[in-house]
């Protein structure tokens, strides 16, 4: 190797006595010291990092979804498009993470599964907040967080707020498209159910893209997100099935059976129904 290639450039800063470093900015001391294996088993490190990294990506999804909902509610759709595009790309990272976790074999996982106790991904509050933001509401899940009052309050507040899809439906009405009043002023804590007036409004948008380009673009961003969310759910289910089969989950759920039932849920039902009618 050329000797000159091994020498650092003269402009590279070397003295950080009074300056912030890369590690300082990212607080890597905290992040990289948070992987504490309870079993000492080699593969537990994989299990921990996959789930911690997923929670970081979920934090970014929530950051973008909260901002996007605020934009749509203000009828500022274009700024929301960038945020929603970012969400769908982050979802790809989450989908890919199951491919990495699937390298964990059943025999390896059983070496440390008992150390998890009753902890389970079912308890991921950020995943619940994402579901709430997308409109999948279920008050019963709040009982899992009763032992954490501040977190319970945060989830309760999110449960009772309009979702991204609720904001999108209001945007349809704001553009003069006839929407059933019960869709515009309802109990936001209840799971959204398909409504004929909403489906007809989206059909109008798709049949006159030139007139409603921004609403059309919003609809396709929503479809992207639901498509990726369903892929994430499916890959989750298959990874669990591959590693533990049909055992009960550590948190007490039916495991694969529960994950399969969730696949039948639709976040934005009218946007899928209209494709048959176009």
Residue whose C-alpha is closest to residue 40's, from 101, 95, 106, 115: 115
Q: Is 51 annotated as a binding residue?
A: yes
Q: Is 49 annotated as a binding residue?
A: yes
Q: Is 250 annotated as a binding residue?
A: yes
Q: Is 265 annotated as a binding residue?
A: no
Burial of 118 (0-12, 13-18, 19+ CB in 10 A): exposed
Q: Is 21 annotated as a binding residue?
A: no
Rounded-to-integer distance, Cα 57 and Cα 90, Å: 7
Q: Is 225 annotated as a binding residue?
A: no
Q: Is 147 annotated as a binding residue?
A: no
| End-to-end CA gap in the chain | 63
Please state, as a whole number, how many other Cβ atoms lie within 10 Å of the Cβ of residue 119. Answer: 11
Q: Is 130 annotated as a binding residue?
A: no
Q: Is 236 annotated as a binding residue?
A: yes
Two structure tokens written together for 140? 């019963």
DSSP assignment of 176-193 = T----HHHHSS-TTSPP-
Rounded-to-integer distance, Cα 80 and Cα 89, Å: 14
Residue whose entry in the numeric block shows the structure tokens 């976040």: 267
Name the binding residues for substrate.
47-51, 109, 113, 250
- Annotated binding residues, as ranges? 47-51, 109, 113, 236, 250
Q: Which residues are annotated as a binding site for heme?
A: 236
């Amino acid at each position: 190797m050329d000797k000159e290639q091994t020498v650092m450039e003269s402009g590279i800063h070397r003295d950080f006595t009074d300056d912030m470093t890369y590690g300082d900015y990212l607080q890597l001391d905290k992040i990289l010291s948070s992987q504490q294996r309870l079993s000492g088993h080699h593969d537990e490190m994989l299990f921990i990092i996959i789930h911690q990294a997923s929670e970081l990506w979920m934090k970014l999804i929530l950051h973008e979804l909260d901002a996007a909902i605020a934009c749509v509610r203000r009828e500022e759709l274009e700024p929301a498009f960038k945020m929603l595009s970012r969400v769908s790309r982050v979802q790809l990272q989450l989908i890919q993470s199951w491919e990495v976790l699937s390298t964990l074999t059943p025999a390896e996982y059983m070496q440390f599964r008992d150390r998890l106790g009753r902890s389970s991904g079912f308890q991921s509050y950020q995943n619940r907040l994402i579901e709430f933001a997308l409109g999948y509401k279920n008050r019963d899940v709040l009982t899992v967080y009763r032992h954490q009052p501040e977190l319970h309050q945060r989830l309760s507040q999110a449960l009772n707020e309009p979702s991204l899809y609720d904001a999108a439906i209001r945007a349809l009405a704001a553009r003069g498209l006839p929407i059933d009043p019960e869709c515009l002023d309802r109990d936001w804590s209840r799971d959204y159910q398909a409504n004929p007036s909403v489906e007809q409004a989206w059909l109008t948008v798709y049949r006159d893209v030139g007139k409603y380009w921004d609403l059309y673009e919003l609809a396709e961003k929503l479809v992207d997100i639901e498509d990726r969310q369903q892929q994430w759910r499916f890959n989750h289910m298959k990874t669990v099935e591959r590693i533990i089969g049909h055992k009960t989950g550590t948190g007490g759920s039916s495991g694969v059976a529960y994950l399969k039932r969730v696949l039948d849920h639709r976040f934005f039902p009218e946007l899928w129904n209209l494709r048959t009618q176009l």
